[in-house]
Amino acid sequence: MEYSYPFDVDWSQEEILQVITFFNLIEDAYESSANRENLKEAYANFKKIVPGKSQENNIYKEFKEASGYDGYKVIKELKENQDEQNISIK
């Protein structure tokens, strides 16, 4: 699949890389599975960059429109199933 990741032009290069890492793990959760701890860490980094819920939802919407992958679903699964070592969306 070819699509671009949503990002803010005001983000630093490091912040953009952290957001891309987060989106890569969302892709992994849909395509196979994502390691819980890696996803949890990437989400924490993402929230430092995008602290507001509204902006987070807008970015998820952009990403879903471009990729078909729903970041909200992945994070919901991360929060609800604490016992799972890997997160997978079927």
User: In a 3-state reduction of DSSP, which class is residue 86?
Assistant: strand
In this prediction, residue 35 carries a pLDDT of 97
pLDDT (tens digit per residue) in 16-35:
999 999 999 999 999 999 99
Position 90 in a domain? no
Position 6 in a domain? no
Range of the domain at 35: 13-84
Position 5 in a domain? no
pLDDT (tens digit per residue) in 32-82:
999 999 999 999 999 999 999 999 999 999 999 999 999 999 999 999 988
pTM for the full predicted model: 0.93
Position 63 in a domain? yes
CB 74 within 8 A of CB 86: no
Domain count, the chain: 1
Q: What is the CATH number of the domain that holds 43?
A: 1.10.220.80
| Beta strands in the chain, from DSSP E residues, in sequence order | 34-35, 86-87
Position 7 in a domain? no
Position 2 in a domain? no
